[in-house]
């Protein structure tokens, strides 16, 4: 049965209430803005439940906070507020509640290292607006050393809770236009996470990220809940690589109850284990993707224990997807190349997808970045794909790969085992449900494996 999202994905008045809850500790006000026209509200910490599926790790249990700091701002959209932000976070670290006030714009023109945070709540009611100075950010944003990823700020620490219903705005349009002119532009991600543990990010509006909206690296036991993402380009230059979440070298991450309108979707980079993704509504996406894997020679990628449940996928290239580079150098584009790595993908389940105007409902691709199928088969990937389940898929694809609605393309039978598809009720616009199947056991695939090879996204 299709699990309804309507009650989960709406920012209701209750979820954004700014009234202080009864019985909360008495706070010490550290400092506040000189301008008193904006009220000093404190948002109650959201009560987060992970349902209907449960995370692989017990959810974080945040401590009570005993102090409040109100963050100053010039509130003019010109003068850098990063020093005020850092001052407040240091002041209220280890047991504080930091309030970014409703109606205030905090203009950020300096890269901020926030990996020192511990036992702290960030109550973002106003707006974080990042400066459009592309020259500064390319020189000073934080580099993660993976696929040219950089970030405006680097978030880390233990027991960090971020909420409040406010907005993070990456000023993405200048970046979409710059990238169209130069694909080697280093575009910052909106939220860069490095080493965050036992933390919750919820109830936020994310707008116009230059690249990914989240890059989650070296994280342990982190929940993302009720996140609203939007960031389409207003020019002819498309907003590219604006994935909702990209995860890397992390474990115990849950992403749930969120809306994504962007140019990409959810990516799971290696190594990554024990992830739950549930209750998402996505449009304009590249799907819920595991990979790309096997990109770097000498690297052994591991992705294990992934459960993806209740996804509504619209106007996208893929629904559920696993993508692996072949064992030969390949180039997807000038700034994205790879091939020759190894590793394993094991115990991944895609359960309950609604497919609406999606190119491929399911795509397993061990020839990522290589359009020459003959060359891919000549140099098969050594990365193993085992114990993969696709089940309960409904809906309709686009005409792009008609009559195919899916592709299961392994570069050799030796590395693909126990890939199962059941209750696949997806058709193309002309009513077919064919799939291209190569080097997989077709007896456990609930599709018609008579489909032709039509290429990959």
79-114 burial: b if 16+ Cβ within 10 Å, else e:
eebbebbbebbeebbebbbbbbbbebbbbbbbbbeb
Instruction: Give the Cα separation of 318 and 214 in Å (integer).
Output: 20
Cβ atoms of 72 and 81 closer than 8 Å: yes
Within 294-341, strands assigned E span: 300-324, 330-333, 336-338
214 among known catalytic residues = no
Active-site hit among 140, 214, 286, 314: 286
Residues 6+ apart with CB under 8 A from 243: 211, 212, 213, 214, 262, 264, 265, 266, 267, 286
Pair type for strands 416-427 and 191-207: unpaired
**Mind giving me the DSSP string for 399-447?**
STTTTEEEEEE-S-TTSEEEEEEEEEEEE-TTS--EEEEESS-GGGBSS
Return the C-alpha torsion angle 214, 215, 216, 222, nearest 10.
0
Q: 269: which DSSP letter?
A: P
206 sits in which H/E element:
strand 191-207
Q: 356: which DSSP letter?
A: E
Q: Is the omega angle on the peptide bond into residue 52 within 30 degrees of 0, that is, cis?
A: yes
Helix (H, G, I), strand (E, B) or coil at 224: strand
Cβ atoms of 153 and 142 closer than 8 Å: yes
- 211 exposure class (CB count in 10 Å sphere: 0-12, 13-18, 19+): buried
Instruction: Please count the other Cβ atoms lying within 10 Å of the Cβ belonging to residue 366.
Output: 30
Catalytic (active-site) positions: 286
């Amino acid at each position: 049965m299709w699990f309804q999202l309507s009650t989960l994905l709406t920012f209701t008045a209750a979820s954004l209430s700014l009234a202080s809850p009864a019985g909360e500790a008495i706070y010490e006000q550290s400092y506040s803005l000189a301008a008193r026209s904006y009220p000093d509200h404190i948002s109650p910490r959201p009560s987060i439940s992970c349902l209907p599926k449960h995370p692989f790790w017990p959810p974080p249990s945040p401590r009570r906070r005993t102090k409040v700091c109100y963050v100053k701002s010039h509130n003019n959209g010109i003068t850098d507020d990063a020093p005020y932000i850092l001052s407040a976070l240091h002041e209220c670290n280890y047991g504080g509640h930091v309030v970014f006030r409703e109606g205030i714009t905090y203009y950020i023109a300096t890269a901020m290292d926030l990996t020192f945070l511990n036992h702290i709540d960030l109550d973002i009611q106003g707006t974080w607006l990042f400066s459009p100075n592309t020259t500064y950010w390319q020189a000073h944003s934080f580099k993660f050393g993976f696929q040219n990823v950089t970030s405006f700020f680097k978030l880390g620490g233990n027991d960090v809770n971020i909420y409040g219903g406010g907005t993070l705005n990456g000023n993405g349009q200048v970046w979409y236009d710059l990238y169209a002119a130069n694909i080697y532009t280093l575009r910052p991600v909106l939220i860069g996470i490095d080493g965050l543990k036992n933390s919750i990010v919820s109830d936020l509006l994310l707008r116009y990220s230059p690249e990914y909206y989240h890059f989650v690296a070296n994280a342990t036991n982190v929940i993302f809940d009720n996140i609203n993402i939007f960031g389409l380009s207003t020019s002819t230059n498309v907003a590219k690589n604006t994935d909702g979440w990209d995860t890397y070298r992390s474990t115990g991450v849950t992403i749930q109850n969120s809306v994504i309108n962007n140019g990409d979707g959810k990516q799971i980079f290696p190594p990554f284990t024990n992830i739950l993704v549930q209750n998402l509504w996505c449009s304009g996406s590249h799907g819920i993707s595991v990979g790309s894997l096997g990109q770097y020679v000498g690297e052994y990628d591991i992705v294990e224990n992934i459960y993806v449940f209740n996804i509504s996928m619209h106007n996208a290239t893929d629904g559920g997807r696993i993508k692996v580079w072949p064992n030969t150098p390949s180039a997807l584009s000038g700034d994205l190349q790879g091939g020759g790595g190894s590793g394993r993908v094991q115990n991944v389940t895609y359960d309950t997808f609604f497919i609406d105007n999606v190119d491929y409902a399911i795509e397993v691709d061990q020839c990522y970045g290589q359009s020459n199928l003959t060359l891919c088969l000549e140099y098969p990937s050594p990365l193993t794909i085992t114990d993969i389940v696709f089940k309960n898929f409904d809906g309709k694809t686009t005409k792009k790969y008609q009559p195919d609605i899916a592709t299961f393309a392994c570069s050799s039978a030796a590395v693909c085992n126990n890939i199962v598809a059941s209750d696949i009720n997806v058709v193309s616009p002309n009513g077919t449900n064919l799939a291209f199947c190569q080097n997989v056991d077709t007896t456990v695939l609930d599709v018609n494996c008579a489909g032709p090879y039509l290429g990959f996204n």
